[in-house]
Amino acid sequence: MVTTLLACAAWLLLWWPRSPWWALGGAFALLAGYALALALEVLAAARLNRSDPTPQASGLQWLGAWWQEVKAAPQVFAWRQPFRWAALPDDDVPVAGAGPAVVFIHGFVCNRGFWHPWMRRLRRQGVPYTSVNLEPVFGHINDYVPLVADAVRRARALTGRPPLLICHSMGGLAARAWLTSEPGVPVHGVVTIGSPHRGTWLGRFSRVANGREMRMAGDWLRDLQAREAVQRPVNPYGRFVCWYANTDNIVFPASTATLPGADNRLVRGAAHVAMAFHPRVMDESLGMLASAGSSPSERTAS
């Protein structure tokens, strides 16, 4: 998306002095190409979801999901992440008597700027938070474990309570990888939003490390699941809330974003990026903070 906008800017600068009509027409064609790419994702997802047990979406729901992503992606990839990623820093001063802090873990080719709407809301509510920038961008998912561990440590230092992890897309896999590396560290809960827990069909086309690791039935995912089964043989995903959509244009077939035994919550008609800012997703996820102290997930996970 950033590349598309830079190309538009360059085209406008080059052609506007010569012909405003050519300048506007070329810029529109570049933007239309981005919308067309999203449409191809939607068509592929709609086809693959036909054989998925998730409730089928209507044509209008698919069209609405495409339009959601056309609007949401530029806000995330062309504004918040490149220009505003550091505008709302993590909390670093302990808060006496506060409930759990939140740890934000973003997904593929994103950064902490993705979470700005959540961060603004938590600031209004007086809830502390920490976050990560998962780097290297195209590294192995296991490379992100120390970054997640540091964010969890900082979050716990803010309140003295096990934190709530909120993750989008690949961030859910990074959280699971961290949990297997430190199985004795308690958390208040883990919320994943459109995370490819069992991979995604699109992963077959990736040529980068973390993209390959998100392939359906891939070696990395099988190894992760095996480690989880050894560490928690009974209900390993009982502390997870997994949001998934029947119109997710990135993680599909739709049920690949669910986990067995987890609290799997369907959002009908939501797109991959837009789902992270869906009112229900935000309200119910942050509502988990109200149960602090009564959740068994706050106990040691060993």
Q: Please say which residue of 56, 83, 110 terminates a domain.
A: 83
Report d(CA 270, CA 120) in Å as an integer. 22
79/106 same-domain check: no
Contact 261, 238 (CB under 8 A): yes
Alpha helices in the chain (DSSP H): 2-15, 20-48, 59-75, 81-83, 116-125, 145-159, 170-181, 209-212, 219-231, 272-275, 279-287
**Domain extent for 258:** 102-298
75/110 same-domain check: no
Backbone angles phi, psi at 67, to 5 degrees: -65, -40
- With respect to residue 276, please indicate whether it lies within any of the assigned structural domains: yes
Q: Tell me the two tokens of residue 212.
A: 């390959």
Q: Tell me the two tokens of residue 279.
A: 């009112």
Exposure string for 202-234, b = 16+ CB within 10 A, e = fewer = bbeebeeebbbbbbbebebbeebbebbeeebee
278/148 same-domain check: yes
217/133 same-domain check: yes
| Number of domains present in the structure of the chain | 2
Q: What is the pLDDT along the chain (302 residues), one digit of tens a residue?
A: 545 655 555 645 665 677 776 656 555 556 667 788 899 999 999 999 999 999 999 999 999 999 999 989 888 987 898 889 999 999 999 998 889 999 999 999 999 999 999 999 999 999 999 999 999 999 999 999 999 999 999 999 999 999 999 999 999 999 999 999 999 999 999 999 999 999 999 999 999 999 999 999 999 999 999 999 999 999 999 999 999 999 999 999 999 999 999 999 999 999 999 999 999 999 999 999 987 654 444 433 32
Q: Please say which residue of 31, 49, 83 terminates a domain.
A: 83
Report d(CA 74, CA 68) in Å as an integer. 11
